Amino acid sequence: MKICVTGGAGFIGGNFVYYMLDQHPDYDIVCLDALTYAGNLETLEGAMKNPKFKFVKGDIADRDFIYELFEREKFDIIVNFAAESHVDRSIEEPEVFLKTNIMGTQVLMDACRKFGITRFHQVSTDEVYGDLPLDRPDLFFTEETPIHTSSPYSSSKAGADLLVLAYYRTYGLPVTISRCSNNYGPYHFPEKLIPLMISRALANESLPVYGKGENVRDWLHVYDHCSAIDLVIHKGRVGEVYNIGGHNERTNIEVVKTILHALDKPESLISYVTDRKGHDLRYAIDPTKIETELGWKPVYNFDTGIQQTIKWYLDNKSWWENIINGDYQNYYKKMYEGR
């Protein structure tokens, strides 16, 4: 079995590479990644030592390159993580989100049709469902919840999902889609809430909380996301969507305070800043379908998972310090100065 993991130099794709090498030592894993600002070969250092792993640099939207690669490698399964993934960046510069997330997905699926595969799996997000009200804790996203996006990022992911389902119905391409809630864990790029707050708190810098910090996210450890995708690509029914989440809803301010307490830092570091435009209020996944149909169960709960994640950032400072000492400084100034 040969699996192409696109976006494997990023946060979730990188964890998925390690998960698959560990769980399926007989599989060949090829990581295809363009190494954008979010891609990091240091994340894959451990995998590079494994003879069953190979890294290929390239853009999923580059049709000629992708066709040559598919013809040469003869993949069985494609798991498409490659994407522009940060909502705030999509609000500033939407174009690359459409190019990578929509056009890139189309190019990959055209290559799958041309050269043949047994499964194309699209890694999607709960953000395609829009948001839920804060005062209705009884409501959850199911696979039947209508697509109702808020940001250029989520719209581009929804566009890709619709194309994936169209390629199933029109061309019979064997596809599956998973829509997961917010992930946390090792190798999370420090533009995202949890690693941003850990790295800034450690430097005694202010922690920028959008609005009042009341928005709710449904956190899932990246390991549990990987185990769910592994099940979907092997046992999921083609043409189906599977929601992934572990019922770990927290307000942003709860998450930030948890991090501060764990690091023994004062709450006075919190700085309430101008809210994100179009900020989704609450995400919450109903994972009944994947639990009952495929027998998936998460192993992490947020309270222990977040402590382990904080420890990982303490133990792996050089990984994130290399990032925040580079171009990231300009990004942070542009996004947060005067906010």
Catalytic residues: 126-127, 153
Binders of ligand DAU among 267-286, rule CB under 6 A? 276, 283
> Considering just the CA atoms, what is the radius of gyration of the chain in Å?
19
User: Sign of the CA dihedral 103, 65, 88, 129?
Assistant: positive
Report the amino acid identity of residue 173: L
Question: Can residue 127 be called a binding residue for ligand DAU (CB under 6 A)?
Answer: yes
Specify the residue, 168 or 184, whose C-beta has the smaller distance to ligand NAD: 184
The interface partner of residue 33, options being ligand NAD, ligand DAU, none and the CB cut-off 5 to 8 Å by kind, is: ligand NAD
CB of 127 to ligand DAU, least distance (A): 5
Whether residue 222 contacts residue 15, with contact meaning beta carbons closer than 8 Å, is answered with yes
CA–CA dist 225, 308 (Å, integer): 16
Q: How far is the CB of 268 from ligand NAD (least distance, A)?
A: 29
- C-alpha 209/C-alpha 296 separation (Å) is 33
- For residue 133, give the amino acid letter: P
Residue 248 contact partner, candidates ligand NAD, ligand DAU, none, CB within 5 to 8 A by sort of partner: none
Nearer to ligand NAD, 206 or 316 (CB): 316
φ, ψ at 122 (rounded to 5°) = -100, 120
Nearest to 258 by CA among 248, 243, 273: 248
Q: Are 69 and 58 in contact (CB under 8 A)?
A: yes
Site string for ligand DAU, 137-176 (x = CB under 6 A): ----------------------------------------
331 binds ligand DAU (CB under 6 A): no
Q: What residues make contact with ligand DAU under the rule CB under 6 A?
A: 85-87, 125-127, 181-182, 192-193, 196, 208-210, 215, 217, 252, 276, 283
